[in-house]
Amino acid sequence: MSKQIIYHGSYCRIEKPELIKGKYTKDFGTGFYCTILEEQAEKWAKKYETPIINKYEYNENPNLKIKNFILMSEEWLDFIINCRSGKKHEYDIVIGAMADDQVYNYITDLIDGQITREAFWELAKFRHPTHQIVFCTKQALECIKFVEAEEK
């Protein structure tokens, strides 16, 4: 893989990303979340009073353990359910679609037994495409290099 530009939406400039465990479980577990979609990073940043888009150069390390979900699939869904339930995984980097707030509500309904998997997929297919790449280990963070930060 060649070098790729990725984005992280925040309230501040982040030149040296760190792995900080948040109080909420996320789609792909603990890590530093980025995206190849600048508009999506802007949405993340707009939650803050001072929205900042951090831009990085990502250079894949083939020696790392990388999980890439090309499509939303049963495996992707199970992975998110496990991560959001607090289960750990062994990957350095995880790439795939994001379960935005609405999709997360569908996942919660599925976990709670309020909808079936078939109903989940019927609802989820109408959501806009999203993307996230999560750096889950210190070794993974070494694959990204800060380029610039811009206030939006």
CA-based angle 84:140:81, to the nearest 5?
15
pLDDT in the model for residue 20: 74
Residues in Cβ contact with 108 at an 8 Å cutoff, skipping those fewer than 6 apart: none
Please give the tally of structural domains in the chain. Answer: 1
Number of Cβ atoms within 10 Å of the Cβ of 94 = 26
Instruction: Give the residue numbers spanning the domain of 146.
Output: 4-151
In this predicted model, what pLDDT tens digit does every residue of 18-68 receive, in sequence order?
887 766 678 899 999 999 999 999 998 999 999 999 999 999 999 999 999
- Give the chain's mean pLDDT: 90
Band (127; pLDDT cuts 50, 70, 90): low
* Segment 98-122 mean pLDDT: 87
Task: Enter the pTM of the model.
Answer: 0.88
pLDDT in the model for residue 103: 80
